[in-house]
Chain A
Amino acid sequence: MLLDIDNLSLTITTNGISHQILDKVSLSVDAGEVVGLVGESGSGKSTTARAVLKLYPETAAVGGSITVGGTEVLSASKDELHRVRSSEAALIHQDPRAALNPVRRIGDSLTERLVHVLGVSRADAAAAGLELLAAVGIRQPEERMRQYPHELSGGMLQRVVIAAALTGQPKLLLADEATSALDVTTQAEVLAILRDLQEQRGLGVLLITHDLHLAAAYCDRVYVMYRGQIVEELRGNDLFHGAQHEYTRRLLSAVPAIGHLPKTESRAS
C-alpha cells in the first residue's frame, strides 16, 4: 500500500475542552488508484489529508498510524518527514491564489521545491518546470513562467499548482477540493489532465471532494466521512445505488440533480 492510515484518532483541546476531530479513521490508497473521500464540512476530510503530511497543531493528541510508502509518518524523524513532504506526497488545495505567492513569478513558485529543497540547479529546474507546465496542458510555458499569478485565470493557476506539486515526483497526491472552485468545463479539463498524469506515473490519488457525483464518476473507491469517522467504503460506481449507511443515503438524497427535487424541510436542523 502506498498510503495506509490505520485507526487514526486526533483530539484537539482548546480552553480545557477536548474536541475529537478524527475517530479511528482507517483508509488506504494503492499506487495507481484514485480514492475519494467525501463528507460535509467539518467531517474531518481535510484534517485526515493534512495529517498524512503531519500537518496538525503540536498540541493535538494523535493516535494510530499513517504509513506513506513504508515510512511511518507520525513517528518519523525530521529527515524522514522532510523526505515524505518533499518527494513522497504532495497536497493540492482548493484555492490556487492562496497557494502561490502573488508577488513572485510563476516560474519561481514552480521551481522553488526543486531549487531550495532538492538542490537542483536553476537551469535544470527551469527545464523541468517547462516540461511540467506542458504536461499539465499549458500552452506557451516560457511566457507563463515569467508571468505573475494575477495574470492567469483560476483554471490555469490550478494547473500550475498541480505542476508544482509534481516537481518532487511524488507517488501520492492529496487533492483537497482541488477542482471545486473551477467551472465545470475547466474542472473536466483539469481532471482529464490529472487522470493522464496519474496513469502515466502510477500515482495514487486521494481526492477530497464534497461533490458526490464527481466522486462516483471519477474515483475507483470512495470513503464517506461523518463526524470524524469513516462510516462507509464503496466502489465509485456503487456510491449512488449501493450505499448502506443511513448518513450516506441522507447525503445522497440532498444532492441536487437536474429534474429532481430534494425532499428536504426548509427548517434548519
Chain B
Amino acid sequence: MSEHVLEVDGLQKAFRVGAGNVVACNNVSFAIPPGGSMGLVGESGSGKSTIARMLVGLETPDAGTIHVRGRQLGTRERGRAARLRRAKEIQMVFQDPYGSLDRRLTVAQCLDQAMRLHGVSGSSRIAGLLDQVGLLAKHGDSKPHQLSGGQRQRAAIARCLAIEPSVMVLDEAVSALDVSVQAQILALLNEIRASSGIALLFVSHDLAVVSEVTDDVLVMYRGSILEQGPTGRVLNAPEHSYTKLLISSMPGPGWDPKNVLERRAAFLAEVGV
C-alpha cells in the first residue's frame, strides 16, 4: 500500500455560524512518512486545530479521507471498540497538560490505565516510558500538581507513547512552556521520532518552534493551505505573501510593529478583505 504513516486527502469542514458558514478546512491534503514530522502553522482561526481535532475524531469531516498506515479511519466511529481502535492509531498532546491529565492519578497509574484501556500489556514498561521521556522513577508516584509544567508535558507525552500510536498530534504542546523547558521538550520529540518511527503533526503558531521539530510545513489561512514544502525552504525563502507576513511578524532584530501592519494591510488587500 502506501509508504506514508498518515495520509489526509481532500479534507473539508465548515461550521455554521449565525446565518452563514465558516469554512475551517478547505480541501486539505498532506501525507507524513514514518518518523516524519509535519508542521501546521497559521494564526488563530486559520483551521489548524480543526484539522488536529478531525484527525483524532473530535470533529467529523464534511468530506475527505484520513488513512493511517493504509487503513482508512471511519468518519464517525460507532461503539467503544471502534473508538478505541482509532485512538490507538492517533494520539494527541494538548497545550495544557494540567487539563488533560487526571489530577487524582499518579503518573504511573495514568500510564497503567492508558495501557489497560488499550489492551497493551505491561506495567513493566512504566519505568522504561518514564525514562524515555526524561522523567525519574520517583515522578511515577507524583500527581500532576506535584510536577512542574515541563514534567507534566513529559507525562502527557509518556501517556501517548504508552499505547504505541502511529501518529502523534501535538496542538500547541510547547507554547505554554518556558524557553529552556521548551527546548528540552523539542529535543525529546526529535529523539522520539528518530527512535520510534512515530509520525508527528506539530500544530503551532510559533514558526521558530516549528522550524526545530519538523521536516515539512503547511501554512494555513482561513481554512486553506497557502504554501507547503520543506520547512527550511518555506521559512528561509517563503513564496506566498502570507508566509512572508507571518515571518516578518516575528519579533527579532530590526522588527518594527508598524512595518508588520503595512504588510498585513497589503496582504489583506491582495486577498480582497
Q: Evaluate contact between A195 and B184: CB separation under 8 angstroms.
A: no
Report if B2 contacts A (CB, 8 A). no
Report if B27 contacts A (CB, 8 A). no
Question: Please, could you name 11 A-B residue pairs with CB atoms under 8 Å apart, sorted by A?
Answer: A41-B178, A185-B246, A189-B261, A192-B258, A214-B251, A217-B253, A256-B182, A256-B209, A258-B250, A259-B211, A259-B232
* A153-B44, A188-B260 known; A254 vs B235 contact (CB < 8 Å): no
Q: List A residues 196-212 near B (Cβ within 8 Å).
A: 210-212
Report if A255 contacts B (CB, 8 A). yes
* A154-B44, A185-B43 known; A266 vs B261 contact (CB < 8 Å): no
Determine chain B's interface SS by DSSP, over half rule: helix
- 15 new A-B pairs (CB below 8 Å) besides A183-B44, A216-B253, A266-B191? A183-B43, A185-B264, A188-B264, A189-B261, A195-B258, A212-B179, A214-B251, A217-B253, A217-B256, A218-B251, A218-B255, A254-B183, A255-B208, A262-B183, A266-B187
Taking each of B136, B232, B260, which has the highest tally of chain A beta carbons within 10 Å of its own beta carbon?
B260
> A176-200: contact bitstring with B at CB < 8 Å (1 yes, 0 no)?
0000000111111101100100000
Q: How far is the CA of A216 from the CA of B246 in the complex (A)?
A: 19
Q: How far is the CA of A120 from the CA of B209 in the complex (A)?
A: 48
**Nearest chain A CB to B152 CB, angstrom units:** 11
Q: Evaluate contact between A188 and B236: CB separation under 8 angstroms.
A: no
Q: Evaluate contact between A251 and B235: CB separation under 8 angstroms.
A: no
Report if A264 contacts B (CB, 8 A). yes
Chain B residues within 8 Å of A211, by CB: 251
**Nearest chain B CB to A249 CB, angstrom units:** 12
Q: Evaluate contact between B257 and A192: CB separation under 8 angstroms.
A: yes
Q: Which residues of A contact B (CB under 8 A)?
A: 40-41, 153-154, 183-189, 191-192, 195, 210-214, 216-218, 240, 250-251, 254-259, 261-262, 264-269
Nearest A-chain residue to B235, judged by Cβ: A258
Partner of A189, one of B45, B179, B264: B264
Report if B134 contacts A (CB, 8 A). yes
Nearest A-chain residue to B151, judged by Cβ: A268
Q: Evaluate contact between B134 and A262: CB separation under 8 angstroms.
A: no
Q: How far is the CA of A210 from the CA of B181 in the complex (A)?
A: 12
Nearest B-chain residue to A38, judged by Cβ: B179
Chain B residues within 8 Å of A240, by CB: 253
Interface residues on B, range: 35 or more
Q: How far is the CA of A267 from the CA of B132 in the complex (A)?
A: 9
Taking each of A184, A189, A254, which has the highest tally of chain B beta carbons within 10 Å of its own beta carbon?
A184
Chain A residues within 8 Å of B205, by CB: 183-184
Report if B31 contacts A (CB, 8 A). no
Q: Evaluate contact between B154 and A262: CB separation under 8 angstroms.
A: no
Taking each of A153, A210, A256, A262, which has the highest tally of chain B beta carbons within 10 Å of its own beta carbon?
A256
Q: How far is the CA of A189 from the CA of B267 in the complex (A)?
A: 14
Chain B residues within 8 Å of A188, by CB: 249, 257, 260-261, 264
Report if B207 contacts A (CB, 8 A). yes
Q: Evaluate contact between A258 and B211: CB separation under 8 angstroms.
A: yes
Q: How far is the CA of A268 from the CA of B178 in the complex (A)?
A: 13
**Nearest chain A CB to B37 CB, angstrom units:** 14
Q: Evaluate contact between A185 and B245: CB separation under 8 angstroms.
A: yes
Chain A residues within 8 Å of B154, by CB: 268
Q: How far is the CA of A188 from the CA of B178 in the complex (A)?
A: 21
Partner of B184, one of A186, A213, A266: A266
Chain A residues within 8 Å of B124, by CB: none
When A and B form their complex, which 7 residue pairs have the shortest distance between CB atoms, in order from nearest?
A188-B260, A192-B257, A184-B249, A266-B187, A183-B43, A214-B251, A256-B208
Chain A residues within 8 Å of B44, by CB: 153-154, 183, 186
Report if B188 contacts A (CB, 8 A). yes
Q: List B residues 209-227 near A (Cβ within 8 Å).
A: 209, 211-212
Q: Evaluate contact between A261 and B252: CB separation under 8 angstroms.
A: no
Chain A residues within 8 Å of B254, by CB: 217
Partner of A258, one of B180, B184, B236: B236
Q: Evaluate contact between A41 and B209: CB separation under 8 angstroms.
A: no
Q: How far is the CA of A188 from the CA of B249 in the complex (A)?
A: 7
> B188-214: contact bitstring with A at CB < 8 Å (1 yes, 0 no)?
101100000000000001111101100
Q: How far is the CA of A40 from the CA of B252 in the complex (A)?
A: 19
Chain B residues within 8 Å of A251, by CB: 179-180
* A184-B250, A268-B134 known; A210 vs B257 contact (CB < 8 Å): no
Report if B54 contacts A (CB, 8 A). no
**Nearest chain A CB to B105 CB, angstrom units:** 20
